[in-house]
Amino acid sequence: MAVLLRHLSFGRKWLPFAAIFLLMFASVAYMHFNAMHSYNKIYADPQRLNDGSEPSLRKLRKDIAVNQARSARAKVRGDEPFADDKENWNSVFDLVKYGKKLVSDKDHCNVPKSNPNKATFDVSEMVYSLKNEDLTWDGDAGVWDPEVEKQFQAGQKETNGTKAAKKLKVFLVPFSHADPGWLMTVDQYLQTYTKNTLDLVLERLQKWPEMKFIWAEISFFELWWTQLDEESRKKMKTLVQKGQVEFVNGGYVMPDEASAHTYAILHQYVYGHQWLLQNFNVTPRHGFSIDPFGYSSTMPYILKNLGFQTMFIQRIHYILRKQLVLAKAAQFRWQQSWDTSDSDSMFCYVSHTHLYDVKHTCGMDPSVCIQFDYQYGGIIQNTSVHVPAMMLLEQFRKVAHVFPHSAVLFPMGMDFRWSSTAEWDSKHGNFKLMLDYLNSKPENNVEIQFGTFDDYYKEVFEQMGTPDKWKLPRVTGDFFPYADRTVEYWTGYFTSHPFQKQLSRDLEHHLRLAEILYVLVGLRQYEIDNAPLLKTLEEATKSLGLFQHHDAITGTSKQAVSDDYEARLYKGLTGVYDVLQYLTTVLSWPQNTDRETFVVNLQRSTSRMLPKSKLIKVTQHKQGVQVVVINGLASVRDAFVEIIVDTEHVVIQDASGQTVPYQTSIASDAEHFQGELLQGGSRVTFFVKFKSLGMLFFKIRAVDAAEAKAGKQHLTKVTEKSHLGSLKYDEPIILQNEQYTVTFSPSTGLMESVRDADGNLHPIRLELKRYSGGGSRSGAYLFWPDVISDIVKYPHYIRVLKGQLFCEIHVIVPGLMRHVVRLFNSSSSTLDQFIQIENTHDFSSETNIEAVMRFTTDIRNNMTFFTDSNGFQVVRRKVSHDLPMQANYFPASTMAFLQDGEKRMTMHLARGHGVGSQDLGQIEVMMDRYLNQDDARGVEEPLREVRVTKTIVRLQLETKGYCGTCISAERPVHPSRLANRINLELNSPAMVLSTPLLANDSKPAQKQLSSSMEPLPCDWTLLMLKPVRYANASRDVGVMFHRVGTDCSGGSGLDDCRDASSGVKLADFLMVKRGLGSYNVTTINFVDVLSKETADTEITVESSKIKGLVFRA
């Protein structure tokens, strides 16, 4: 350095240049050192991170050399490899490793453009921008503060005694929020409260013509309706026709919006709206969702396409509420980020209040509003009406202050209110007295009336214009997570009661398939007794719909109520088993419907057990056993079939007589998940390929060992070592197929790295962790953790199975869980493209455990990850270190992923979970929660359900086929085409049924059944194919197509599907030979007819959207 300074001393004018040179030299040196340090910190491990062929340091040097050369080439081309990146993606690591700037996706990514209308508020970004010091107050305090009070009083002085102020139009809207299960079961609530409420609605609204009422939940209303005589029904119909009773929402329940899947949400809306159409000839036009714990961005799309005009929501983050309300943005257009035509934005009203009881809804001051509850009676005297009336009027004026119009909505209700004559008499009498008094005084400049939502919105739109003409604030994003005070985030319920969440998803899948098969039987005009089948499907629909309730699928009910939901789901599922078994038999042997039916192979034996494979006793049937595999997806599909037979020596033949390769291995089941082997059973696995929705038939016979070997039998090699004793693995464990080479730690048995088919090494460290539950704070609703520790630190043992069709590793932690990682070797378009992970667990022996599976990677994701929204679309999530851990958890129904410019890693999920991230390149999924305390949100019970539960994740790694450069926050992000396929196949598993072959059996109609429908174009899914109603005389069939939003799918390897730009002709799709006639394009509840089309009209669906059709079968 001294020599250098002597050479520079010939002139001071060169000193600034020398300083710049030294600074550049130091910066580059630091970047190189930091990259080396980061790489070693993330990847360095006592074990080699690759397959043993190349030490990690040598590989690092090679990577650096390659990227330096790449950087040099970029300079020659004129690129700027070290340019600043506005999105903060080019960390030091990225610059050294990749050598050039990540480019914009504008010209490189074939994804839908974003909504052309810039959002006024991105509520997801608003949640992210909060700081921990902001989370200090109780949301119950409301949005009013001294500054707002000062503004309000100033405004009152300006308009006092003048005509400047608009006349207030106030609508008192009575309602009763009826939870179909929470602290009591639905039947208990009906008898204790809801029947009384509806009886009194019928009685008092006839007595008081000015009185009105709104009702939301059809589950309760239908139960009450079935008990009415015909005269009472006529009277209720009159009240509805006169507008005194209005149905809002109108689904079977008021659904949860975090864990529920779009299919289940829509299914219960179809049932509720069709029931209203048949019984009252009305359809709801206004949404009313006051009790779910956060709101999905998918729901405004669904409600808009149900034909709704407005929606009303309540429980959002207490700080967001204040920000929106004080910005006079509590009414807004909720738009979809991908909706380029802006045709699906929805008018939304977010309540100005924390809760929906009179204490909060009458105005801005709960201490004033509480006196207007009148739940237990009390009558105001005429002589004393002035004081309470003027207090009430001031509250109305304060509400009007935060809206751009003078219409005021006052919802008057709470949980199970209006259930006693005393409450009806006092509320009607007192409010009638006050509104008559206030209306009679012109100086009050107010008009108050009992009303419905329809009355209120008509006034709003008369003042402001319809939502399409009114320049409303625009909102994008969703309202997760929800917090009601301080740092108390309601993010635990995303995972609570996982056993029931999975049971619900199982019923969804089976019900969807059963309804499809029912329609197929009808289209083929087979003679069957429809009535009992329809009755069973209807009961299953009600069971599924009931569980979508925001206190059911959320896992936030008392245990006795949860048990009731579970029993109903199980009853619905077993009924659907019967329907599937019967319809499969009819389709297979339509001329012999009295034959012994097929039996579903994977069934739940009780409501509290996981599905278990039936032992197929092939040795007892000389003719063999007929196995049928059903694909419920209307697309090309590869599937693996797994059955348990009573011998490992069999021959499997397809319908053409060709021998099918299979692999035999040791067997276990859900009842014995801690490593025990199933005695007398052998697991047989083989692959099948479908051209579209349909059935494939296989004959299985018991043979001797020699014939089995000749019949393409492959055995499984099993090794097992225990960390309970001295026998341990001393080398990394490796599983591989054509796509992946996965390396596992010899000490824990957990994944450490993945090498892809191109030879690229990807450090992916899997950990099984447990949060301690925050001592005494986490509960059914709240996630409030503190200490985190390992699960596999407990004594455990490792079992490795390797064969030609699949290989897998088992890590068994006695008493807690079995962790299985499996690779398929199928050379198919999907089966070998993911790593299957199955965790079977029972944490009931533990204290305060919230178990997670965490992945730590080298993905430079800029603290951003993505989750799906109800299985319909993908939402961007940002991790904030300024917020507590529980604030960085979000709901995921089917998938979550991380990405950077080089790769995307996706977790495909089989049920609803909470998903979070705590650090760069990290993502975790919560598997289960077992807690010793309540969290003071009303349930008053600890979360201590004893169930053996399974968590299934398909891990997918992509280095192409997705938009790796879609980094702009304004652009929508979608799964790749391959990811969508993998996800659909996970959530719609192929169904296996079997029956003994009889000597006189004819061959099933394999040719006709192997492809029962024409395959849909790429990205299309058949969301529903079902009877519109369950009346025996009805022949209307509803169809829903969803064209899934898809990211850059070039290079994804999916060349086996139709061009996504092509349309579908209904008759061709259904393969109906006889004339289908016309069909109607409808709203997605199959109610409003949008257009009538001829049979040869091609159906098209815009990307990311759902289309509903109805035809007459």
Active site residues: 291
Give the span between the Cα atoms of 257 and 45, in whole angstroms.
Answer: 42
- If we measure between CA atoms, which residue out of 895, 917, 1042, 914 comes closest to residue 976? 895
Give the span between the Cα atoms of 752 and 468, in whole angstroms.
Answer: 53
Give the span between the Cα atoms of 698 and 653, in whole angstroms.
Answer: 5
Give the span between the Cα atoms of 93 and 111, in whole angstroms.
Answer: 28
DSSP letters of 988-1053?
A: SPPEEEEEEPPTTPPPP-HHHHTTSSPPPBTTEEEEEEEESS--TT--EEEEEEEE------TTS-
Quote the tokens at residue 402.
Answer: 């935060």
Answer for the pair 993, 577: CB distance below 8 angstroms, yes or no: no
Q: Give residue 715's identity as a one-letter amino acid code.
A: L
3-state helix, strand, coil in the chain (%, to 5): 30, 25, 45
In 316-391 the beta strands, taken as DSSP E runs, fall at: 331-334, 346-350
Give the span between the Cα atoms of 697 and 588, in whole angstroms.
Answer: 9
Buried residues in 137-155 as b, exposed as e (16+ CB within 10 A): eebeebbbeeebeeebeee
Q: Give residue 1084's identity as a one-letter amino acid code.
A: I
Quote the tokens at residue 749.
Answer: 């048995």
Report, in angstroms and rounded to the nearest whole number, the Rg of the chain calculated over CA atoms.
Answer: 31
Give the span between the Cα atoms of 70 and 83, in whole angstroms.
Answer: 15
Give the span between the Cα atoms of 486 and 729, in whole angstroms.
Answer: 48
Tokens 């109607």 sit at which residue?
Answer: 1080
601 CA to centre of own chain: 27
In order of 145, 412, 448, 484, 708, the CA distances from 360 in angstroms are: 15, 10, 19, 14, 73
Phi and psi at 8, nearest 5°, equal -90, -5
Residue 724's CB is within 10 A of a number of other CB atoms, namely 12
In order of 158, 395, 402, 405, the CA distances from 161 in angstroms are: 9, 19, 21, 20
Q: Which residues contact 754 (CB under 8 A, 6 or more apart)?
A: 740, 741, 742, 743, 761, 762, 764, 835, 957
Q: Which residues contact 310 (CB under 8 A, 6 or more apart)?
A: 285, 286, 287, 346, 347, 348, 349, 453, 457, 467
Tokens 């996800």 sit at which residue?
Answer: 983
DSSP letters of 972-997?
A: -----HHHHHHHHHHHSPPEEEEEEP
Give the span between the Cα atoms of 1028 and 163, in whole angstroms.
Answer: 54
The burial of 234, by beta-carbon neighbours within 10 Å (0-12 exposed, 13-18 middle, 19 or more buried), is given as: exposed
Give the span between the Cα atoms of 492 and 273, in whole angstroms.
Answer: 32
Pairing relation of β-strands 817-824 and 864-869? unpaired
Determine the angle formed by the axes of helices 262-280 and 498-523, rounding to 10 degrees. Answer: 60
Give the span between the Cα atoms of 1072 and 1074, in whole angstroms.
Answer: 6
